[in-house]
Amino acid sequence: MRAKKLIAIVVLACLSVSCWKRNNETVLGYAPVYGDASALKSITLLPAQDVEEGGKIYVAGNMLFQVESGKGIHITDISNPAQPQQKGFIKISGCQEVTVKNGIIYTNNMNDLVILQQNGNAIDVVKRLPESFMNSSSTTVPPEHGKFECPDPSKGVIVGWQKKTLINPNCSY
């Protein structure tokens, strides 16, 4: 009987210490960035923007295309390598890839493969192949292992991850 009481006291003490520590856990991790599901398929050509989180690049002729991870593609004229000129930014949610052939841009819009063509000051979607990247996990988990804020589907679709200080994150991988 005495041993049972001692075990119960030890278990309660451990639980209270772990809860106490849990309530004060502050870590650097990732929080999901949510987007409106209906707006995610919108693709637009915008004026040039600064590169914040540059990704893959592709050169076609005198043009350089650089992915802005999760956000779109920067277009830069490199006909004069000493003075490259930013020409525009194609806003594409979830963009991670780019290639260009014969003036046609191939990229992803979340899990869809999209084929684009610039038309003056606009960008036309020539074709969309839905769910071409079904196994893509670029938005389902953070880009690095560790603790993160658990996704909440009621807030929308995850379009990316933001590194920040988290209090009591419940998820990790």
| CATH code for position 81 | 2.40.10
**CA–CA distance, 103 with 94 (Å, rounded to integer):** 22
> Can you give the residue range of the structural domain that contains 120?
38-129
What confidence tens digit (pLDDT) does each residue in 145-155 have?
A: 999 999 998 99
Rounded average pLDDT over 111-134? 92
Provide the number of structural domains found in the chain: 2
Do residues 6 and 28 both lie within one domain? yes
Do residues 59 and 113 both lie within one domain? yes
Residue 134 falls inside a structural domain: no
What confidence tens digit (pLDDT) does each residue in 70-113 have?
A: 899 999 999 999 999 999 999 998 899 999 999 999 999 988 99
Whole-number percent of the chain with pLDDT over 90: 58
> What confidence score (pLDDT) does residue 5 get?
54
| pTM above threshold 0.85 | no
